[in-house]
């Protein structure tokens, strides 16, 4: 397709996404709503239909969806300079904040009272991840096939099957529901369900499992995750737990929970959690490597998808493959919630905190960041009282 007109400048794209990168709290759904408000309602950059097309295209490729949407908007407004401006302005604020929090976290880790504070935050994180699973389930469970895929993915994950195999199987089942494999049709995302599409992530996973905690290993670990991240930004937690906690042993279960909490109190993309984890594993070089690894695949997928957006958005086979992958991602999220709960809900206080957080999320829709900050405040009081 021919490139659409680009009526704006990279400078105005940078200004908008820098403001959003500094103020957008609440997770991917909130981020996309804020972008809609800014580029459709407040600025005549896109129509409702154009925004919906770009959102659909972002959902059809792996990677952090809100970041990919920002890149699409930047490109549509100001071409490739707008693409780069949106990427830098949207991602960098969250990365800088996450890195700063990583430095503080490593320093505070030597303070005994910090353990009490972080123990109060852990149950809240479990509730946040569980809530994300509920929201994802509401959006993608539209029939018995999706339910079956999600249940099979949950059981398989708990049994130790790799995420790559689970997501690949989900794509294959999704494709067979529309007969795409039987009829031999090809779609822009048909490669999602082919062995060739799984070979590179599988090779990266093997390199991570076999290697020590090095900067190169950190980059490969997050490059693999960025290339397979479907369904919700919170699916990142499933990969981190499987690859870095249970697999390589680079971080502990508690550090994973704390990393998710950091992602909630940081504006901008939730995937900046990777920066925090990279710092824990290999210092500042590790933080840079993790950041590049998690965001690079999505940026490349967006750039590659721009010429085929009409086919990508209108392909029923592409939609079916994505439905299968998303259902499998839901199963992964359920499995990781169960794993995190075993380590964090250890007494009546922690169970009570998680229950209260779940009610606040589901009934009053309190922003997750405020819950994390409130739990941290409770932890401070407990530490001072103890």
∠286-288-294 over CA atoms, to 5°? 95
Query: How many Cβ atoms from other residues are within 10 Å of residue 272's Cβ?
Result: 31
Written as one string, the DSSP assignment of 236-259 is HHHHHIIIIIIIS--S-HHHHHHH
Tokens 């599988």 appear where?
202
Query: How many Cβ atoms from other residues are within 10 Å of residue 176's Cβ?
Result: 15
Instruction: Give the DSSP H or E segment for 365.
Output: none
First to last CA, the chain: 65
Model pLDDT for residues 290-349, shown as the tens digit of each residue:
999 999 999 999 999 888 876 766 778 877 887 888 888 888 888 888 988 988 898 898
> Mean pLDDT, to the nearest integer, of 105-119?
74
Distance (Å, whole) CA 322 – CA 189? 9
Query: Who has greater pLDDT, 129 or 3?
Result: 129
Tokens 């909130």 appear where?
30
Q: In the chain, pLDDT over 90 holds for what percent of residues?
A: 35
Chain center to CA of 70 = 14
Distance (Å, whole) CA 357 – CA 342? 17
Distance (Å, whole) CA 4 – CA 81? 14
Average pLDDT, the chain: 83
Beta carbons within 8 Å of 289's beta carbon, 6+ residues apart = 215, 216, 218, 219, 222, 278, 282
Distance (Å, whole) CA 250 – CA 241? 10
Beta carbons within 8 Å of 162's beta carbon, 6+ residues apart = 202, 205, 242
pTM of the model: 0.78
Looking at the predicted structure, is the pLDDT value of residue 223 above 90? yes
Task: Quote the DSSP letter at residue 270.
Answer: G
Closest by CA position to 251, among listed 137, 102, 31: 102
Secondary structure string (H, E, C) spanning 131-195: HHHHHHHHHHCCCHHHHHHHHHHHHHHHCCCCHHHHHHHHHHHHHHCCCHHHHCCCCCCHHHHCH
pLDDT at 232: 64
Q: 122 is written with which tokens?
A: 């852990």
Q: Is 260 helix (H, G, I), strand (E, B) or coil?
A: helix
pLDDT at 83: 97
Q: Please classify residue 19 by burial: count the beta carbons closer than 10 Å to its beta carbon, then call 0-12 exposed, 13-18 middle and 19+ buried.
A: middle
pLDDT at 140: 79
Q: What are phi and psi of 194, to 5 degrees?
A: -105, 155
> Mean pLDDT, to the nearest integer, of 274-281?
96
Beta carbons within 8 Å of 208's beta carbon, 6+ residues apart = 217, 220, 221, 224, 243, 247, 248
Distance (Å, whole) CA 374 – CA 135? 22
pLDDT-derived band at 1, boundaries 50, 70, 90:
very low
Instruction: Give the DSSP H or E segment for 219.
Output: helix 215-228
Q: Please classify residue 351 by burial: count the beta carbons closer than 10 Å to its beta carbon, then call 0-12 exposed, 13-18 middle and 19+ buried.
A: middle
């Amino acid at each position: 397709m021919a490139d659409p007109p680009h009526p704006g400048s990279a400078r105005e794209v940078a200004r908008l996404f820098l403001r959003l990168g500094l103020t957008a709290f609440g997770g991917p759904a909130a981020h996309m709503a804020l972008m809609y408000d800014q580029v459709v309602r407040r600025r005549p950059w896109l129509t409702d239909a154009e925004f919906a097309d770009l959102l659909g295209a972002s959902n059809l490729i792996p990677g952090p969806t809100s970041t990919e949407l920002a890149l699409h908007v930047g490109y549509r407004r100001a071409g490739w300079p707008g693409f780069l401006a949106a990427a830098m302005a949207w991602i960098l604020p969250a990365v800088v904040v996450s890195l700063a929090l990583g430095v503080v976290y490593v320093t505070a880790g030597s303070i005994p009272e910090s353990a009490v504070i972080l123990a109060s935050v852990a149950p809240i994180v479990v509730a946040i991840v569980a809530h994300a699973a509920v929201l994802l389930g509401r959006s993608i469970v539209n029939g018995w096939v999706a339910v079956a895929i999600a249940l099979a993915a949950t059981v398989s994950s708990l049994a130790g099957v790799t995420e790559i195999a689970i997501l690949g199987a989900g794509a294959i089942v999704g494709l067979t529901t529309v007969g795409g494999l039987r009829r031999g049709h090809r779609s822009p995302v048909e490669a999602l369900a082919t062995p060739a599409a799984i070979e590179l992530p599988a090779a990266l996973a093997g390199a991570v499992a076999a290697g020590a905690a090095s900067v190169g290993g950190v980059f490969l670990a997050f490059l693999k995750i960025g290339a397979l991240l479907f369904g919700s930004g919170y699916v990142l937690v499933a990969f981190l737990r499987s690859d870095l906690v249970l697999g390589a042993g680079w971080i502990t279960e508690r550090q994973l929970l704390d990393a998710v909490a950091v992602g909630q109190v940081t504006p901008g993309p939730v995937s900046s959690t990777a920066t925090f984890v990279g710092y824990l594993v290999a210092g500042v070089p590790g933080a840079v490597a993790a950041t590049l690894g998690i965001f690079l695949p999505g940026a490349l997928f967006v750039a590659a998808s721009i010429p085929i957006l009409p086919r990508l958005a209108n392909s029923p086979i592409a939609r079916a493959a994505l439905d299968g992958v998303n259902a499998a991602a839901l199963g992964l999220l359920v499995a990781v919630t169960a794993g995190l709960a075993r380590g964090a809900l250890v007494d009546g206080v922690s169970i009570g905190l998680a229950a209260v957080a779940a009610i606040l999320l589901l009934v009053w829709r309190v922003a997750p960041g405020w819950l994390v900050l409130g739990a941290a405040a409770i932890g401070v009081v407990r530490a001072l009282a103890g």
